[in-house]
Amino acid sequence: MPSKDYLIKLLKENEVFLRGDFTLSSGKKSDYYINMKKAITEPEILSTIAKLITELIAEDGIDKVAGPALGAVPIATAVSLESKTPLLMIRKEKKGYGTSKLIEGELNSGDNVIVVEDVTTTGGSLLKAIKAIQENGGNVTRAFVVVDRQEGAIDAFEKEGIKLEPLITVDEF
């Protein structure tokens, strides 16, 4: 079974940690960027992430695996395939055509759902996805992030009564 150390090794080999001047999705400025979009396009990294999360949820009785668009969808898909658990994809906003759904996939009232994300800073976008699941009858039991930047996301989740579980933190790089 892959380990956290193996995941860190893969992320370093694929140069996902970049130095420079960046603006993050939260609007914050940073002198580093974690390019998880690059990482999750690599099959070995994606497979390793899926195996690590699947091992963590093996005894949880999870009904669905969810990921907010865009970065988390490949991760949620990989976990869905590895764990044989149906997938939900959470849009940033309802589309104005077709079925106009915010959540793609079948969410039943009372479903136990885990939510996955690629990187968190403040956790705002992931909390928004979780609220969408909860407002549509889902029960979010756990939330996982591949890399936590350690800038407040875990505390923000605690205030909402949800445990955010990073596979690795930026300090572990």
Tens-digit pLDDT profile for residues 72-97: 999 999 999 999 999 999 987 665 54
Question: Residue 108 half-sphere exposure, CB side, CA atoms within 13 Å?
Answer: 7
The answer for residues whose C-beta is within 8 angstroms of residue 20's C-beta and 6 or more apart is 31, 32, 33
User: Which residues share a beta bridge with 85?
Assistant: none
C-alpha radius of gyration, the chain, whole number: 15
Q: Is residue 105 part of an annotated ligand binding site? A: no
> What CATH number was assigned to the domain covering residues 4-172?
3.40.50.2020
Does 120 count as an annotated binding residue?
yes
User: Does 118 carry a binding-site annotation?
Assistant: yes
Name the H helices within 58-152. 72-83, 124-135
pLDDT one-digit tens code per residue, 15-65:
999 999 999 877 889 999 999 989 999 999 999 999 999 999 999 999 999
Tell me whether residue 95 is annotated as binding: yes
pTM of the model: 0.91
Q: Rounded to an integer, what is the distance from CA 51 to the centroid of its chain?
A: 14
